Amino acid sequence: MASRAIGRPMKYYYVIANLKDDCLYSPASIARFAHENEFFDYSSPEELKQILMRIRLSMGRLANYHAFPNHGDGQVVTPGQRPLPAWFGWRWKIILEGNYAKAQR
């Protein structure tokens, strides 16, 4: 019997794979990074807003699921908003390899 892959490929794999290792990223800054680097197409401002919201929520769930430290590796400051906890790009990339739990030990 042939083996099959478990699960599906991560939806935002290419966004995370392109993050810089030594820069801090919050879920919101990853969404902004994806938009600035044109990782997706959209036809209206409403659709753009929906896509950015989905990316932010997905990255937040991902960070929570993989037990990223609550305080973050640092903070990202966006004009007009409070500082947000953020994690280095290398920490996000470890998730892609499936080794985050091993890296914490």
- Which pTM does this prediction carry? 0.82
Q: Please say whether the beta carbons of 94 and 85 come within 8 A.
A: no
Sign of CA dihedral 52, 58, 61, 62: negative
15 assigned to some structural domain: no
14 assigned to some structural domain: no
Classified as helix, coil or strand, 72 is coil
Q: How many domains does the chain have?
A: 1
Residues 59 and 64: their CA atoms lie apart, in Å, by 9
The boundaries of the domain holding residue 28 are: 23-104
Sign of CA dihedral 77, 81, 83, 88: negative
Per-residue pLDDT tens for 57-98?
999 998 898 888 989 999 999 888 899 999 999 999 988 887
